[in-house]
Amino acid sequence: MRTFFITGAGSGFGLALSRRVLASGDALFATDVQVDDLAERLGVPVGERLQVAPLDLARPASIEAACAAAVAWRPIDVLVNNGGYAVFVSQRDADMDAIERMFSVNVFGQARVTQALLDSVRSTRGVIVNLSSVAGRMVFPESGFYAASKFAMEALSEAQYVENAPFGVRVVAIEPGSFDTNFLARAAQESPPRRDDSPHAPQFEGWDERKLGMLVPPQPPRWVADAIYEASRHVQGFQRVRVGVDCRAILRIKDSLSPDDWSLLMGAIYGGPALQSDDSWLPLHPVLPQAVPEALRGSLTLAARSGHLAWWNDLEGGPQALAAWRAMPQAEDEASS
């Protein structure tokens, strides 16, 4: 029996994972800002296999108290840094106090939890699981600050492994796409209303349309819970785990390009300068399919099928290129497996 410590255990991925942990016969120290009815919702009484404690990631004293109680209960085998939320706003229109509050939870709060529990995880040669996001690898307009907090979690995950590998600690970074949780509802509450006088106002509608075209309808949170649980069992050292059809598709295309080319592509998608038909753009520019390297055709076929290239219709030659892609033999869709 392993012991899990989970932040944000009362909703979304944290609640789904908590149920998976208990159903698998493991022990759980579940934390969230409010935990009054959490044991009841989990269907397991507080006792040998379940403890609950309030933990507010924005309050260091709350973190210290919860982590001390957890270590006094059992050594921690799996630490899951799950809690967090999003503020979506352009950098021009942001309230920086709100951004600081988000970072205090998403980055500094999680770092404090890890610091407090690290010796316990070392003692068990355990696993640290950090909830990153597809936004930990790429950005949409208005996601820069939230993505920065997730990029930070990616960096912290790598450093946690490099620093603690000699002690047998393993690290997993989970990268979900769009899932059916209260994430967007919470983001709407935390994010400021868009300003009618913003210079970005004429772009808002296009931003939303393009972003939604790259994401799929919300997927079941149990997929993420299952991915976390299985990765915690099987990870050998360090591992990134992409979860969701949209995340896999987006990052598969991103990985086909250089970092600079990906940024240029995203700029073009969201209204920036049109892409030039030079050699560096052969993989994603609307050119004849036979000019595209064979190794990339699977990625582009997947992109066309999943709607990621719908914006090609706005470019000269785009409709013909899409038609040509759709006429090609369909590659295996790895993202749907």
Per-residue pLDDT tens over the stretch 98-153:
999 999 999 999 999 999 999 999 999 999 999 999 999 999 899 999 999 999 99
Of 229, 249, 269, the position where a domain reaches its end is 249
In a domain, 212, yes or no: yes
Same domain membership, residue 285 and residue 137: no
Same domain membership, residue 311 and residue 180: no
What are the two backbone dihedrals, phi and then psi, of residue 298, each rounded to the nearest 5 degrees?
Answer: -60, -45
Give the DSSP H/E element, type plus range, for residue 14: helix 12-23
Task: Check the CA dihedral 248-249-254-255 and report its sign.
Answer: positive
Give the model's pLDDT for residue 277.
43
In a domain, 18, yes or no: yes
User: How far, CA to CA in Å, does 191 sit from each of 134, 177, 187, 300?
Assistant: 19, 20, 6, 34
C-alpha span between 2 and 31 (Å, rounded): 17
Residue 6: beta bridge partners?
Answer: 30, 80
The amino acid at 43: G
Of 214, 249, 284, the position where a domain reaches its end is 249
Residue 172: beta bridge partners?
Answer: 129, 239
The amino acid at 230: E
Of 205, 229, 249, the position where a domain reaches its end is 249
C-alpha span between 244 and 219 (Å, rounded): 7
In a domain, 337, yes or no: no
**Which pTM value belongs to this model?**
0.82
In a domain, 160, yes or no: yes
What are the two backbone dihedrals, phi and then psi, of residue 184, each rounded to the nearest 5 degrees?
Answer: -70, -35
Given a contact cutoff of 8 angstroms between Cβ atoms, the answer to whether 69 and 53 are in contact is: yes
In a domain, 24, yes or no: yes
Same domain membership, residue 237 and residue 150: yes
Same domain membership, residue 180 and residue 265: no
Question: Cβ-count burial of 31 within 10 angstroms (0-12 exposed, 13-18 middle, 19+ buried)?
Answer: buried
Give the model's pLDDT for residue 48.
93
C-alpha span between 172 and 161 (Å, rounded): 9
Same domain membership, residue 295 and residue 163: no
In a domain, 177, yes or no: yes
Same domain membership, residue 322 and residue 222: no
Same domain membership, residue 223 and residue 318: no
Same domain membership, residue 276 and residue 237: no
Same domain membership, residue 237 and residue 92: yes
Give the model's pLDDT for residue 263.
80
What are the two backbone dihedrals, phi and then psi, of residue 201, each rounded to the nearest 5 degrees?
Answer: -50, -45
Domain count for the chain? 2
C-alpha span between 157 and 198 (Å, rounded): 36
C-alpha span between 281 and 289 (Å, rounded): 13
Catalytic site positions: 146
Same domain membership, residue 226 and residue 305: no
Q: Which two tokens stand for residue 102?
A: 């988000």
Give the model's pLDDT for residue 264.
74
Same domain membership, residue 174 and residue 104: yes
Residues of the chain with pLDDT under 70: 213, 216-217, 256-258, 273-337
In a domain, 50, yes or no: yes
The per-residue DSSP string of 174-209 comes to: EEE-SBSSSHHHHHHHHSPPPPTTSTTGGGHHHHHH
In a domain, 52, yes or no: yes
| Residue range(s) defining the domain that contains residue 308 | 258-332
Q: What are 4-41's pLDDT values in tens digits? A: 999 999 999 999 999 999 999 999 999 999 999 999 99
Given a contact cutoff of 8 angstroms between Cβ atoms, the answer to whether 245 and 203 are in contact is: no
Same domain membership, residue 175 and residue 199: yes
Give the DSSP H/E element, type plus range, for residue 52: strand 50-54
What CATH number is associated with residue 45?
3.40.50.720
DSSP three-state, residue 32: strand
Query: How many residues are there in the chain?
Result: 337
Give the model's pLDDT for residue 210.
74
